[in-house]
């Protein structure tokens, strides 16, 4: 397997032009992804950055490092992969379809960790080709966090892999538990914290260039905002979180959290202000 060390995060302009540069890719049938691993060998968890993220997403200081926060540490590797020649498809037009996180051990501010990405599997989808990226975080060689990020390349005609199937239960009745708002500048604010400054999140003008009527919230912000309402009083040592993204949350906007709670987790949806259309569906276990 080829291993690539990523030693620095490229500038916003460099990232944008690298993504644009992949637009000429026109692969035929892809039956497997190239065996490649990308690595950030040494990353320190910054207490101030964690606090900024927590405040923006609704977490309390007593939650510690939210289990969803480490996803931000993987973003430079995901960006590098989808903008590289090892990814068969163009970066632009690739959609974050689903995310599954497992926290094996709690992380803490000032921890130094190793972040890894490995190309994963292929699945067929009625809208195109799904491919997965396996993400890992290690502290002193111990696996403390892992995730699978599922991405949909829209419009691919020749697809391979088993049909993509939902992994989240849908048989429990949900009730409205909370409401929250998403300000017009949320995309810019979350982009500054996460590093994800995709134009579809930044402003109505830039979003319209990509076919959206207004800017849309980052799916991972919506996921985090819901999670902040579902966590137990005590910080979690071990937990898992799966989510599937459904429809955009336009900015500014309001949303409702619907859930069915249990002693060890919750099934939940974030729906529109009328409680009808789901923006995402998820399942938390601890």
Is there a single domain that holds both residue 18 and residue 46? Answer: yes
Is there a single domain that holds both residue 155 and residue 175? Answer: no
Is there a single domain that holds both residue 137 and residue 15? Answer: yes
Is there a single domain that holds both residue 223 and residue 254? Answer: yes
pLDDT tens digits for 18-46? 666 566 677 889 999 999 999 999 999 99
- Judge whether residue 15 has pLDDT over 70: no
Task: Please give the C-alpha separations between residue 280 and each of 95, 144, 175, 218, 237, in angstroms, as whole numbers.
Answer: 14, 26, 15, 11, 25
Mean pLDDT in residue range 169-191: 93
The residue out of 136, 163, 190 marking a domain boundary is 163
pLDDT tens digits for 233-262? 899 999 999 999 999 999 999 999 999 999
Is there a single domain that holds both residue 220 and residue 279? Answer: yes
Mean pLDDT in residue range 56-80: 96
Is there a single domain that holds both residue 125 and residue 187? Answer: no
Is there a single domain that holds both residue 154 and residue 222? Answer: no
- β-bridge pairing 278-285 and 265-272: antiparallel
Among 264, 235, 228, 223, residue whose Cα is nearest residue 63: 235
Is there a single domain that holds both residue 111 and residue 190? Answer: no
Under DSSP, is residue 28 helix (H, G, I), strand (E, B) or coil?
A: coil
The residue out of 108, 131, 163 marking a domain boundary is 163
Is there a single domain that holds both residue 97 and residue 183? Answer: no
Beta bridge partners of 284: 241, 266
What is the model's pLDDT at position 14? 58
Is there a single domain that holds both residue 135 and residue 171? Answer: no
Mean pLDDT in residue range 118-135: 97
pLDDT-based confidence at residue 12 (cuts at 50, 70, 90): low
Q: In which domain, by residue range, is 274 found?
A: 166-286
CATH of the domain at 25: 3.10.129.10
What is the model's pLDDT at position 92? 81
Is there a single domain that holds both residue 142 and residue 217? Answer: no
State the total domains in the chain.
2
Q: Is the pTM of this model over 0.85?
A: yes
Is there a single domain that holds both residue 60 and residue 144? Answer: yes
pLDDT tens digits for 132-151? 999 999 999 999 999 999 99
The residue out of 112, 135, 163 marking a domain boundary is 163
DSSP calls for 54-102: HHHHT--GGG-S-TTTHHHHHHHHHHHHHTSTTSSS-STTEEEEEEEEE
């Amino acid at each position: 397997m080829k291993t690539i060390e990523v030693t620095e995060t490229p500038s916003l302009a460099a990232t944008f032009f690298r993504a644009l540069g992949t637009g000429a890719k026109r692969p035929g049938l892809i039956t497997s992804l190239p065996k490649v691993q990308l690595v950030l060998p040494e990353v320190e968890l910054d207490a101030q950055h964690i606090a900024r993220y927590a405040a923006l997403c609704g977490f309390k200081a007593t939650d510690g490092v939210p289990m969803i926060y480490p996803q931000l540490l993987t973003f430079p590797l995901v960006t590098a992969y989808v903008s590289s020649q090892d990814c068969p498809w163009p970066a632009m037009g690739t959609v974050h379809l689903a995310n599954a996180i497992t926290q094996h051990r709690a992380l803490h501010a000032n921890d130094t960790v190793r972040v890894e990405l490995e190309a994963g599997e292929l699945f067929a989808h009625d809208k195109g080709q799904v491919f997965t990226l396996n993400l890992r975080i290690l502290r002193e060689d111990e696996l403390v966090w892992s995730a699978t990020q599922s991405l949909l390349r829209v419009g691919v005609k020749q697809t391979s892999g088993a049909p993509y199937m939902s992994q989240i239960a849908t048989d429990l009745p949900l009730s409205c538990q909370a409401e929250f708002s998403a300000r017009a500048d949320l995309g810019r604010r979350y982009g500054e914290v996460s590093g994800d400054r995709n134009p579809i999140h930044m402003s109505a003008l830039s979003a319209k260039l990509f076919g959206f009527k207004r800017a849309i919230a980052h799916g991972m912000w919506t996921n985090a905002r819901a999670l902040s309402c579902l966590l137990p009083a005590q910080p979690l040592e071990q937990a898992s979180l799966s989510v599937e993204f459904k429809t955009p949350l336009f900015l500014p906007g309001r949303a409702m959290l619907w859930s069915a709670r249990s002693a060890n987790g919750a099934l939940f949806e974030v729906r529109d202000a009328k409680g009808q259309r789901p923006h995402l569906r998820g399942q938390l276990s601890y």
